[in-house]
Amino acid sequence: MSGTAEPTTTGDAVKHVPPAGAVKHEPGTYGPRFPLAEAEARRMAQLSTEITSRLDEMAQIFTSTTGRALDGMSPRFVRDAHADRADVTDVEIICGPEGCGCYVTLSDGTGWCEFPCGG
């Protein structure tokens, strides 16, 4: 598999061998890390900025529609298609201590906000 560490066994221990191109980093941090070419790094930064902006906008629309405050809530995007209903897709928009708020869409394009998700 490209981009994943392949485990090897040494006695009872499992040793993870980083794939080619992985950068060694400090213990306790996540990894392995894969450096990007300059153009790809610029594009990823641009996409990250765009996504963050859109998530913030979706969270603002959600909170103004539902009357929920953003205090303690974290914008996020988790798309979840329902196994039992192919025409329904939930997108978690904000999550906090009281649960997550979703935007639900149907295959016909209609949608609504709900809190908590699945409520």
Indicate the pTM of the whole model: 0.64
Q: What is the pLDDT of residue 73?
A: 82
Q: What percent of the chain has pLDDT over 90?
A: 24
pLDDT in tens, 44-90: 999 999 999 999 999 999 989 999 887 878 888 887 766 677 778 77
Token pair recorded at residue 15: 């040793």
Residue 107 has pLDDT above 80, yes or no: yes
Q: Which residue has the higher pLDDT, 17 or 119?
A: 119
pLDDT of 22: 63
Residue 6 pLDDT > 70, yes or no?
no
Mean pLDDT of 34-42: 93
Q: How far apart are CA 91 and CA 81, in angstroms?
A: 9
Q: Are strands 111-114 and 99-106 parallel, antiparallel or unpaired?
A: antiparallel
